[in-house]
Amino acid sequence: MLRKLFTEWAMEIAEDSKVRSTCLSRQVGAVIIRDKQIIATGYNGAPTGAIHCTDLGYCIRKKKGIPSGQGLELCRAGHAEANAIDQCAKNGTSCEGAAIYVTTQPCVFCCIHIIQSGIKKVVFKGEYPTGLGLELLNESGIEYMKYEEALEEEEKLREEKHAKEMERVKEFIRRSEEA
Catalytic machinery residues: 81
Q: Rounded to whole angstroms, how far apart are CA atoms 20 and 6? A: 23
The Cα angle at residue 75 between residues 123 and 121, in degrees rounded to 5:
15
> What is the SS3 assignment for 34?
strand
Secondary structure element (H or E) that encloses residue 138, with its range: helix 132-139
Helices (H) and strands (E) in the chain, counts: 7, 5
Tell me the pairing of strands 99-102 and 29-34.
antiparallel
